[in-house]
Amino acid sequence: MKERVQEVLEKIRPSLQADGGDVELIDVSDGNVVTVRLTGACAGCPMSQMTLKGGIERILKQEIPEVVSVESA
């Protein structure tokens, strides 16, 4: 599961890097909750919660239906 999540994050990463940010996979729990850390410009951005839920979580759930939610570390 962790490998599948990492593959999807690799697809998302260029969009974040274009804005000076990045995403780092921290963990995938037994309950399929993904924990990530937004870094770079994304770390202090007021829109980071929207990026996390509306972007990263939406895409991960679309690509991997088993994902329950995405949380920030």
List the domain range (segments joined by +) for residue 27.
Answer: 2-72
Domains: count for the chain = 1
Q: What is the pLDDT of residues 38-58, one digit of tens each?
A: 999 998 889 999 999 999 999
Structural contact between residues 37 and 11, judged by C-beta atoms closer than 8 angstroms: no
The predicted pLDDT at position 65 comes to 97
Q: For position 25, which CATH number holds?
A: 3.30.300.130
Q: What is the pLDDT of residues 8-23, one digit of tens each?
A: 999 999 999 999 999 9
Question: What are the start-end ranges of the E strands in 1-73?
Answer: 21-28, 33-40, 69-72
The predicted pLDDT at position 44 comes to 84
- The residues, any chain, with a CB within 8 Å of residue 51's CB and separated by 6 or more, are 16, 21, 38, 42, 45
The predicted pLDDT at position 5 comes to 98
